[in-house]
């Protein structure tokens, strides 16, 4: 008898969704743009007021010794009060690390903390130079019809157990100056043999 390899829903599974956001601020006005499922593992990522062409990084996360081979990344950003005239995109990267300690073993000597990207890097390195050393995940394509925008970013296989999510605003408008709507999620792609 053949064995089937099936994808297992993350909600209630052995691995949880990872949600990057600000706990005390998150309060989406519309359930239609809320990616949260199950009981996520929460990671700090401040996106309030990110300017055009600027990047932010989350605190370092440990994906675990037993982790999914792939993760689907979904993004949600807010431009409330901003008028997007040239939609552009929001681009996502994984900054790999080989060490559990926040400030150790990071790409370009990065800090491993929530903040502007890159932060605490050794020497002087630009955002563009830093991103070349990170693993590209994909882009959230934007449109000019809504202030809160969410969609699929991509699926990727993290090359390391530890790392940081990097978010870059490549749109002509700054993000809203709060973190009420903004959250990014990584859903583990769990394969199960049946």
SS3 125: coil
Tell me, what's the pLDDT at 178? 94
> Tens-digit pLDDT profile for the chain (194 aa)?
677 776 766 665 668 999 999 999 999 988 999 999 999 999 999 999 999 999 999 999 999 998 999 999 999 999 877 767 778 999 999 999 999 999 999 999 999 999 999 988 777 899 999 999 999 999 999 988 778 999 999 999 999 999 999 999 999 899 999 999 999 999 999 877 77
Q: Which residues contact 121 (CB under 8 A, 6 or more apart)?
A: 108, 109, 110, 111, 130
Domains of the chain: which residue ranges? 18-30+39-193
DSSP for 39-91, written as a single string: SPEEEE---TTPPTT-EEEPPPEE--SS--SEEEEEEEEE-TT---SS--EEE
Options 3.10.310, 2.60.40, 2.60.120, 1.10.8; which CATH number does 18-30+39-193 get?
2.60.120
């Amino acid at each position: 008898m053949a064995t089937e390899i099936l994808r297992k829903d993350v909600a209630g599974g052995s691995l949880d969704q990872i949600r990057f956001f600000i706990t005390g601020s998150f309060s989406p006005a519309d359930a239609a743009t809320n990616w949260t499922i199950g009981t996520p593992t929460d990671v700090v990522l401040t996106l309030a007021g990110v300017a055009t062409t600027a990047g932010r990084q989350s605190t370092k996360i440990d994906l675990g010794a037993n982790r999914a081979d792939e993760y689907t990344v979904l993004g949600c950003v807010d431009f409330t009060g901003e008028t997007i005239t040239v939609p552009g995109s929001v681009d996502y990267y994984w900054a790999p690390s080989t060490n559990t300690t926040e400030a150790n073993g990071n790409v370009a000597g990065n800090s491993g903390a929530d903040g502007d990207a890159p932060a605490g890097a050794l020497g002087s390195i630009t955002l563009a130079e830093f991103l070349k050393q990170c693993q590209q995940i994909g882009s959230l394509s934007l449109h000019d019809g809504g202030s809160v925008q969410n969609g699929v970013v991509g699926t990727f296989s993290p090359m390391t157990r530890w790392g940081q999510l990097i978010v870059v605003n490549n749109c002509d408008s700054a993000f809203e100056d709060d973190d009420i709507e903004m959250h990014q999620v990584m859903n583990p792609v769990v394969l199960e043999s049946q």
